[in-house]
Amino acid sequence: MPAADAEAARACAFITAEIDRLSSVVTSLLEFARPLHLEPRPVSVRELFDRAALLAEGELAAKGARLGRDESPALPAVKADPDLLSQVLLGLLANAAEAVPFGGDVTLAARARDGAVELVVEDSGPGIPAELRDRVFEPFFTTRPRGIGLGLAVARQVIEAHGGRIEAGERPGGGARLTLRLPAAGDSAVAA
Ligand SMILES: Nc1ncnc2c1ncn2[C@@H]1O[C@H](COP(=O)(O)OP(=O)(O)OP(=O)(O)O)[C@@H](O)[C@H]1O
Ligand SMILES: [Mg+2]
């Protein structure tokens, strides 16, 4: 390609961007279809949040979003596959970054409750309408023009394979709140 050919440069940039997009479509489809192989170990919430924050840095920066953290230092470790869990958190942070207006707020929070650990991802976007809070976990449910609708479906598969639960709700004051409930390390199941 001649260096000065602006038209060709534009075409190449378009092709590269579309290859990236298709690659992420294929990755999502494979993640959804492939049987899950968990390698759970006791892992600290701080490690999970640090990894997810690093993975989502680009998405959050593109929206000028601030990532707040609110986790007590005395939290028990969770029994989780750290690779799968940080991918789930990345998906939730990506959704939050999509949803917030420029300069919006996104928060990662965690608390211990009844022998389980709750991880919470909140944002200052428009929130998820109450009537859609179950449907958003259905495969291929999306309201985004170029969304695939597999992010939350995969998140639910992964969390349930850990013996946990995931729920969509509302942040006090508006915005979305996604809550993951996971067994604390040492527990074999999360109390219902
Ligand atoms: N933080 C959020 N705020 C508002 N709506 C949300 C949020 N997270 C998810 N949703 C809604 O849930 C739908 C499904 O989310 P999901 O992550 O499964 O798919 P997606 O983001 O549309 O596509 P992708 O497969 O690329 O992740 C979204 O299209 C959106 O309507
Ligand atoms: Mg998504």
- Is 161 a pocket residue for ligand 1 (Cβ < 6 Å)? no
Do 10 and 24 lie in a common domain? yes
Assess whether 67 and 105 both reside in one domain: yes
Write down the pLDDT at residue 191: 40
Q: pLDDT (tens digit, 9 = 90+) per residue, 133-183?
A: 999 999 999 999 988 999 999 999 999 999 999 999 999 999 999 999 999
pTM: 0.89
Say how far apart CA 106 and CA 123 lie, in whole Å.
Answer: 4
Q: How far is the CA of 18 from the centre of ligand 2 (A)?
A: 18
Residue 84 shares a structural domain with residue 3: no
Query: What is the structure's pLDDT at 192?
Result: 36
What is the Cβ-side half-sphere exposure of residue 50, based on CA atoms within 13 angstroms? 5
- From the CA of 16, how far away is ligand 2's center (Å)? 21
- Domain identity same for 86 and 25: no
pLDDT in tens, 78-97: 999 999 999 999 999 999 99
The answer to whether the CB of 152 is under 6 A from ligand 1 is yes
Quote the domain boundaries for residue 25: 1-34
Please report the atom of ligand 1 found closest to the CA of residue 142: 29
Question: Are 29 and 74 in a shared domain?
Answer: no
Whether residues 25 and 100 share a domain: the answer is no
Taking 50 as the threshold, does the pLDDT of residue 189 lie above it?
A: no
Question: 21 CB under 6 A from ligand 1?
Answer: no
